[in-house]
Copies of this chain bind each other. A is one copy, B any other.
Amino acid sequence: NPLKIAVIPGDGIGAEVMPYGVRCLQAVGRIFDVQFEFEEFDFASVDYYEKHGDMMPKDWKEKLSKFDALYFGAVGMPDRVPDDVSLWGSLLKFRREFDQFVNLRPCRLLKGVTTPLANPGDIDFYVVRENTEGEYSSIGGKIFEGTDRETVIQETVMTRTGVDRVLQYAFELAQRRNKKLTSATKSNGISITMPWWDSRVLEMSKKFPDVAVDKYHIDILTAHFVQRPHIFDVVVATNLFGDILSDLGPACTGTIGIAPSANINPSGTFPSLFEPVHGSAPDIAGKGIANPVGMIWAGQMLLGHFGYHEAADALLKAIENVLARSEPHILTADMGGKGDTKSLGEAIEKEILAM
Contact = CB atoms under 8 A, between A and B. Distances in A.
A189 B136 contact: yes
A138 B246 CA distance: 28
A226 B223 contact: no
A157 B161 contact: no
Contact of A226 (B116, B140, B155): B116
Contacts of A354: none
Given A117-B118, A222-B222, A256-B220, A151 B160 contact: yes
Contact of A140 (B119, B142, B193): B193
Given A157-B151, A251-B227, A219 B243 contact: yes
Contact of A186 (B147, B159, B240): B240
Copies of the chain in the assembly:
2
Interface residues of A, number: 66
B192 A153 contact: yes
Interface in A222-253: 222-224, 226-227, 239-240, 243-244, 246-248, 250-252
Interface of A: 76, 82-84, 86-88, 92, 115-119, 135-136, 138, 140-142, 147-161, 186-196, 218-220, 222-224, 226-227, 239-240, 243-244, 246-248, 250-252, 255-256, 279
Given A138-B192, A223-B247, 4 more contacts: A116-B119, A117-B226, A151-B158, A190-B240
